[in-house]
Amino acid sequence: MAAIICGSLAFDTIMTFEGRFAEQILPDQLHILNVSFLVPALRRDFGGCAGNIAYALKLLGGQPLPMATVGNDGADYLQRLQDLGISTEYVRQVSDTYTAQAMIMTDRDNNQITAFHPGAMMQAHHTAIEARSDVRLGIISPDGRDAMLAHAAQFNAAGIPFVFDPGQGLPMFDGAELARFIEQATWVTVNDYEGKMLCERTGWSPAEISRRVQGLVITLGAEGSEVWVDGQKTHVPPVQAQAVVDPTGCGDAWRGALLFGLEQGWDLVRCAELGSRVGALKIAQRGPQNYQLDFRV
């Protein structure tokens, strides 16, 4: 069965700063911030949440259907997906803009500063979701604001269970909009920071959110994750990575594993355990789509 993955396809320009951001930014001078970081290492990767999640799901043996938009420079990305055996039937190319671009700078402590140009992503709402017999579930990951709103409503209308994963798109929505997403969704995933913002804007605690869906997962980075089901919390421990090389795309790798587990009918704890394993593999490799599995599911 297939999973529709709504989100961005982007080119990631990854830069490595060998120092620490905290040592370069003076907290009492933020009102006149003017800093420059020397980045000796730079590379360009295929990225974007939809692309990264689809990559992880495909590695695990799933059937991803990314729903995204690329620009006039997107031919290489379309070919990349096809070479991986990932369907591009829901990937639309537009001619009057660039593919989304993320400029990501990482310091020696794996803190990141990202500049993101949405480009073609802002036209993602023109592609609609309809019921399909071979589609078992979906995910709303960071995308254009209009697309996230429209696709959640379309998943709901089509009767397709979906994960609401707002990620860095969460600040675009107020409390009422976020509450509506949760009411339409089947599962919710956020990281620790996003979870606090989600609770603050909706006025609901993690326990309350989990009672409105089949489950809430809060990822905690190196601390593992919290799985909330019907108001009860279970801590899922992390998997130790062989090396910490590049955090870019770790959350997306985790979510690809989540989708695979949900497709198999697993409970959320088991899904989160697989997510930790895949995330540990990803963080040991540079780039969000360059790792391979070293285990069998």
Residues 102/9, Cβ–Cβ less than 8 Å: no
Q: Is 252 a catalytic residue?
A: yes
In this structure, the dihedral spanned by the alpha carbons of residues 123, 165, 221 and 292, taken in order and rounded to 10 degrees, is -70
Q: How far is CA 53 from the centre of its chain?
A: 7
Q: Are strands 10-16 and 41-47 parallel, antiparallel or unpaired?
A: antiparallel
Catalytic residue among 143, 165, 246, 252: 252
> Catalytic residues, which ones?
252
